[in-house]
Amino acid sequence: MAADEQGNDLDAVGVPITGLAAFAKLETTNVIAKDKMGAKPLALGAAFQMIGLYKQDGGPAAARDAGEAIEFFQKGYSIAGDGTRTVAITAAEMNAAVLELTEGVEPDTNGVVAVSSSLPNNRFILFTVTRYRGGWEKRRQGVAFVSQVEPDQEERGAVEGQKITFTWVEHDLFGGSPYWEWQGIPGPVAP
């Protein structure tokens, strides 16, 4: 559908229908090249671990926080403070990938995890995809770390999830930016 007489286009409305998130070790070989970001099919390397299912209301929630601005003597002039970008996903699955993200360790030979009070101290390549009605997709990849984990209250008969907040980190692998983002309908890239 094209835009109507008022300039509104219902096909341009973002209605998420599915998505995925995966992470891999922070290595150059795990970066998806810019010219492959919009590929169809999307080929993630074997190093990527999938987070799995999200809760129905647990899809990616991106945030952008601005640091304190620098103000000048003259009124009306300021420089924006350093910002931070995050994305929170509420994982529904209790799998090995989620355990590695939230605890930073693997179970021992008895299946036991020595739980720490602190979050894992690791950085990795995070890749997220959101697919919208109409075939449009938003894909992001960059360096991130887990900055917060909020387990749901256990409720009989309800999906128990863990809201995992990832903080994107400016990194040389991504040209000093927190992440790369591609938006469009996946397929061959036209010149």
103-151, pLDDT tens digit by residue? 988 888 998 888 888 998 899 999 999 999 988 999 999 999 999 999 9
Q: What is the pLDDT of residue 189?
A: 52
Q: What is the pLDDT of residue 66?
A: 81
pTM of the model: 0.88
Tokens of 112: 């036991």
Mean pLDDT of 25-42: 94
Tokens of 30: 């795990």
Is the model more confident about 31 or about 67?
A: 31
The yes-or-no verdict on residue 47 having pLDDT over 90 is: yes
Is the model more confident about 171 or about 73?
A: 171
* Average pLDDT value over all residues in the chain: 91
The yes-or-no verdict on residue 9 having pLDDT over 50 is: yes
Share of the chain above pLDDT 90, in %: 64
Give the number of other CB atoms < 10 A from CB of residue 53: 15
Buried-exposed string 90-112: b where 16+ CB fall within 10 A, e elsewhere = bbbbeeebbebbbbeeeeeeeee
The yes-or-no verdict on residue 92 having pLDDT over 50 is: yes
pLDDT tens per residue across span 156-175: 999 999 999 999 999 999 99
Q: What angle do CA 48, 174, 50 make, to 5 degrees?
A: 15
The yes-or-no verdict on residue 191 having pLDDT over 70 is: no
Q: What is the pLDDT of residue 1?
A: 60
